[in-house]
């Protein structure tokens, strides 16, 4: 028990844990993914299913994961020894978070590119006088469309803006200078997944820099992580507030905010709106990744994690709503400049934040300075999410092989090897066809059905196999009071029902991935489903393996595989008390 491989770190300060939660889960998903889903699903209408999904599934699973990590004192794989039959949940989470670590940091690379490009007297995306601009370009800081009209169209523009007839220039679709900068300069996007093109080495170097910074943040473990998040989790709010005050005063901002807040109730009958709301809740709260379990495992046994989870939930959803005001204020401004409705002003997708936000900072006094500060903020938002994701993956693997990885500098070397491997895979997303690869990862690997599947089995494992009432009592013995019984009801009934409904609906209404007008080839969709199934199949796969390899009759195997293995090796009196309370509760059932 006292050997070095069994000694785990704990958070140093009282605020380390909650700031790590905020730092990891509050990030680009709030200022990037949430606004673009609102944009896609008709604005304010999206907020209704989002809040319903949050109450029924998001917050209950959040509390379950964090408290399980604290109760067991283990990472995302070994914590599930509490229900050995369902330990595949941990493996599925590790697969998902690994995919997330690979593609999420690419957004950080984009932000680094924009920040370096901001060190200039005139922001390159603020005007249409660049070599990459077309006759479609609209100068948002000027009076209207550029008169430059170089007429050059790359193959990628055929995908992003439709096939343009050169003889009908008067009918060209207007495109903001910031959108052309993203598509034609930063991404230099090709015609499709089967046209990967060459590596954009400037983006590749930004990606490499992102990995170097990330490694330096996590290589010393949770003690360094806990200190870094004091800055990375708080400073972005200062800059976001400054941008917000400028955005809401732009001409046309009111129309954008109206689109954001006025719900179109007819959209509530569209199942896709509910599916997007459910997956956004799981994505933005980082549920099903095992990282919340890892962060909770560094808490001391008596920490009031319930209070911290409630605070975190308010901050997380509040940030999403807050970021929406900034995005839609700018979209209203862009719509006014381009003379089109808000819903037609920009292409919705991963790049929306890199179109709207740059357009906003270009309108500020001393724009280059504010641009540097803004993208520094984006880097901080992406960085803490990334390095805590890496920490969650590493924690799960180290807890699985403590005798091998908790000796000497093996953990640091292991983190370095993982970072190099993930960087090499990420190079596929900084090629000319990289956006199509990025979309493939985002759509299939770390969101949607995979997260719902993991969350479903988490609620079944705790709510039905281990016992929702039993875990409810365990939490009481751990934090010193009983939490709201609504959470217990959700664990057992509402959350699994919700997850089943959304998961089945996602399969029934499945539509092949498209990026704007581009349809992915069959082989691309097959790769996507392989990524998705690689995590989904972990749960039934591990379950079958354990049943087959466990000796005895079926009843004996079931008993062995559903008997909890408690892994917390501190506060033995509290553990004994929680187990006794569980036995008493079982006798009542």
Tens digit of each residue's pLDDT (9 = 90 or more) over 140-199? 665 444 433 443 333 333 333 333 233 333 335 778 888 899 989 999 998 888 888 899
Q: Cα(27)–Cα(380) distance, rounded to whole angstroms?
A: 8
Cβ atoms within 10 Å, residue 482: 12
Per-position DSSP letters for 500-531, written without gaps between them = HHHHHHHHHT----EETTEEPPHHHHHHHHHH
Q: Tell me the mean pLDDT in the region 402-409.
A: 79
Most confidently predicted of 419-423, 443-447, 505-509: 419-423
State how far the alpha carbon of 257 is from the alpha carbons of 322, 334, 397, 471, 514, in Å: 11, 13, 45, 43, 28
Does residue 58 carry a pLDDT above 80?
A: yes
Least confident of 213-217, 263-267, 364-368, 456-460: 263-267
Q: Cα(117)–Cα(376) distance, rounded to whole angstroms?
A: 12
Show Cβ contacts of residue 279 under 8 Å, excluding neighbours closer than 6 positions: 447, 448, 451, 452, 502
| Residue 360 or residue 375, greater confidence | 375
Q: Cα(109)–Cα(126) distance, rounded to whole angstroms?
A: 21
Q: Cα(151)–Cα(474) distance, rounded to whole angstroms?
A: 68
Q: What tokens does 155 get?
A: 């193959």
Least confident of 95-99, 262-266, 280-284, 413-417: 262-266
Question: What is the H or E stretch that residue 117 is in?
Answer: helix 88-117
- Determine the pLDDT at residue 569: 60
Does residue 491 carry a pLDDT above 90?
A: yes
Contact 455, 540 (CB under 8 A): no
pLDDT band at residue 576 using 50, 70 and 90 as cut-offs: very low
Q: State whether residue 138 is helix, strand or coil.
A: strand
User: What are the domain boundaries of the chain?
Assistant: 4-122+198-588
Sign of CA dihedral 177, 182, 185, 186: positive
Does residue 9 carry a pLDDT above 80?
A: no
Contact 260, 43 (CB under 8 A): yes
Least confident of 202-216, 464-478, 511-525: 511-525
- Determine the pLDDT at residue 512: 81
- Determine the pLDDT at residue 586: 46
Does residue 101 carry a pLDDT above 50?
A: yes
Q: Cα(371)–Cα(318) distance, rounded to whole angstroms?
A: 24
Return the percentage of the chain with pLDDT > 90, whole number: 38
Residue that is written with structure tokens 């109730």 in the block? 265
CATH topology for 4-122+198-588? Answer: Amino acid/polyamine transporter I (1.20.1740)
- Determine the pLDDT at residue 163: 30
State how far the alpha carbon of 465 is from the alpha carbons of 234, 452, 462, in Å: 40, 19, 6
If we measure between CA atoms, which residue out of 202, 176, 198 comes closest to residue 189? 198
- Determine the pLDDT at residue 224: 57
Contact 375, 107 (CB under 8 A): no
Question: What is the H or E stretch that residue 176 is in?
Answer: strand 175-176
Q: State whether residue 298 is helix, strand or coil.
A: coil
Show Cβ contacts of residue 442 under 8 Å, excluding neighbours closer than 6 positions: 103, 350
Global confidence as pTM: 0.84
- Determine the pLDDT at residue 5: 52
- Provide φ and ψ at 199, rounded to 5°: -75, 130
Q: Cα(141)–Cα(125) distance, rounded to whole angstroms?
A: 10
Least confident of 3-7, 60-64, 514-518: 3-7
- Determine the pLDDT at residue 1: 41
Return the percentage of the chain with pLDDT > 70, whole number: 85
Show Cβ contacts of residue 503 under 8 Å, excluding neighbours closer than 6 positions: 449, 452, 453, 456
Q: Cα(186)–Cα(86) distance, rounded to whole angstroms?
A: 44
Show Cβ contacts of residue 77 under 8 Å, excluding neighbours closer than 6 positions: 87, 90, 91, 93, 94, 290, 396, 397, 399, 400
- Determine the pLDDT at residue 482: 94
If we measure between CA atoms, which residue out of 43, 46, 49, 47 comes closest to residue 260? 43
Q: Cα(398)–Cα(415) distance, rounded to whole angstroms?
A: 10
Length of the chain: 589
Question: What is the H or E stretch that residue 175 is in?
Answer: strand 175-176
Q: Cα(295)–Cα(11) distance, rounded to whole angstroms?
A: 9
Q: What is the DSSP letter of 173?
A: P
Show Cβ contacts of residue 394 under 8 Å, excluding neighbours closer than 6 positions: 218, 411, 414, 415, 418
Q: Tell me the mean pLDDT in the region 267-278.
A: 80
**Cα atoms in the Cβ-side hemisphere of radius 13 Å centred on 446:** 23
Residue 36 C-alpha from the chain's centroid: 14
pLDDT band at residue 349 using 50, 70 and 90 as cut-offs: low
Does residue 89 carry a pLDDT above 70?
A: yes
Q: Tell me the mean pLDDT in the region 276-284.
A: 83
pLDDT band at residue 223 using 50, 70 and 90 as cut-offs: low
Least confident of 63-67, 220-224, 286-290: 220-224
If we measure between CA atoms, which residue out of 462, 457, 587 comes closest to residue 63? 462
pLDDT band at residue 352 using 50, 70 and 90 as cut-offs: low
Cβ atoms within 10 Å, residue 264: 15
State how far the alpha carbon of 446 is from the alpha carbons of 86, 119, 339, 470, 528, in Å: 20, 34, 37, 31, 11
Does residue 348 carry a pLDDT above 60?
A: no
Does residue 342 carry a pLDDT above 90?
A: no
Residue 147, Cβ density class (10 Å: 0-12 exposed, 13-18 middle, ≥19 buried): exposed
pLDDT band at residue 504 using 50, 70 and 90 as cut-offs: confident
Q: State whether residue 137 is helix, strand or coil.
A: strand
pLDDT band at residue 47 using 50, 70 and 90 as cut-offs: confident
Q: b/e map of 521-545 (b: 16 or more CB within 10 Å)?
A: eeebbebbeebbebbbebbeebbee
pLDDT band at residue 519 using 50, 70 and 90 as cut-offs: confident
Q: At what angle do helices 495-508 and 449-460 cross, to 10 degrees?
A: 150
If we measure between CA atoms, which residue out of 412, 410, 419 comes closest to residue 387? 419
| Residue 150 or residue 61, greater confidence | 61
Q: Tell me the mean pLDDT in the region 422-449.
A: 90
């Amino acid at each position: 028990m006292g050997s070095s491989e069994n000694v785990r770190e704990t958070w140093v300060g009282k605020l380390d844990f909650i700031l790590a939660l905020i730092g990891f889960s509050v990030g680009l998903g709030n200022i990037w993914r949430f606004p673009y889903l609102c944009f896609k699903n008709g604005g304010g209408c999206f907020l209704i299913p989002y809040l319903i999904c949050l109450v029924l599934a998001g917050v209950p699973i959040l509390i379950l994961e964090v408290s399980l990590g604290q109760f067991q004192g283990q990472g995302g794989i070994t914590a599930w020894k509490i229900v050995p039959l369902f330990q595949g949940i941990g493996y599925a989470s590790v697969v998902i978070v690994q995919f997330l670590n690979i593609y999420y940091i690419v957004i950080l690379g984009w932000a680094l590119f924009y920040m370096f490009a901001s060190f200039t007297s005139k922001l390159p995306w603020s005007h249409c006088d660049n070599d990459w601009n077309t006759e479609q370009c609209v100068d948002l800081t000027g009076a209207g469309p550029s008169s430059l009209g170089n007429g050059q169209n790359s193959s990628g523009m055929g995908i992003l803006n439709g096939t343009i007839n050169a003889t009908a220039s008067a009918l060209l679709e207007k495109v903001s200078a910031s959108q052309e900068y993203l598509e034609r300069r930063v991404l230099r996007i090709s015609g499709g997944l089967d046209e990967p093109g060459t590596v954009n080495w400037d983006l590749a170097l930004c990606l490499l820099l992102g990995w170097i910074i990330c490694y330096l943040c996590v290589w010393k473990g949770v003690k360094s992580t806990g200190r870094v998040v004091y800055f990375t989790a708080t400073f972005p709010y200062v800059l976001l507030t400054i941008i917000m005050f400028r955005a809401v005063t732009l001409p046309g901002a009111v129309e954008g905010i109206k689109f954001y807040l006025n719900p179109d109730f007819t959209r509530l009958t569209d199942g896709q709106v509910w599916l997007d709301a459910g997956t956004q809740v799981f994505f933005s709260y980082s549920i099903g990744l095992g990282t919340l379990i890892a962060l909770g495992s560094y808490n001391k046994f008596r920490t009031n994690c319930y209070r911290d989870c409630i605070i975190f939930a308010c901050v997380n959803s509040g940030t999403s709503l807050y970021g929406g005001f900034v995005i839609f204020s700018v979209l209203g401004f862009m719509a006014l400049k381009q003379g089109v409705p808000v819903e037609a002003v920009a292409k919705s997708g991963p790049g929306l934040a890199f179109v709207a936000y740059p357009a906003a900072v270009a309108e500020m006094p001393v724009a280059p300075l504010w641009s540097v500060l803004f993208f520094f903020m984006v880097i901080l938002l992406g960085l803490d999410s990334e390095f805590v994701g890496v920490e969650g993956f590493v924690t799960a693997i180290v807890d699985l092989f403590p005798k091998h990885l908790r000796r000497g500098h093996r953990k640091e070397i292991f983190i370095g090897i993982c970072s190099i491997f993930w960087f090499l895979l990420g190079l596929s997303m900084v090629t000319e066809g990289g956006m199509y690869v990025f979309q493939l990862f985002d759509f299939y690997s770390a969101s949607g059905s995979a997260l719902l599947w993991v969350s479903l089995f988490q609620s079944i494992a705790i709510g039905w196999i281990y016992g929702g009432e039993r875990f409810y009592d365990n939490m009481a013995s751990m934090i010193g009071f009983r939490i709201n019984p609504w959470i217990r009801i959700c664990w057992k009934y509402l959350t699994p029902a919700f997850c089943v409904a959304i998961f089945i609906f996602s399969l029934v209404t499945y539509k092949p991935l498209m990026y704007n007008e581009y349809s992915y080839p069959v082989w691309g969709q097959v790769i996507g489903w392989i990524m998705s199934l690689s995590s989904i199949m972990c749960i039934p796969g591990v379950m079958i393996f354990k049943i087959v390899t466990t000796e005895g009759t079926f009843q004996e195997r079931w008993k062995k595989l559903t008997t909890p293995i408690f892994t917390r090796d501190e506060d033995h009196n509290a553990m004994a008390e929680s187990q006794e309370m569980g036995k008493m509760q079982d006798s009542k059932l």
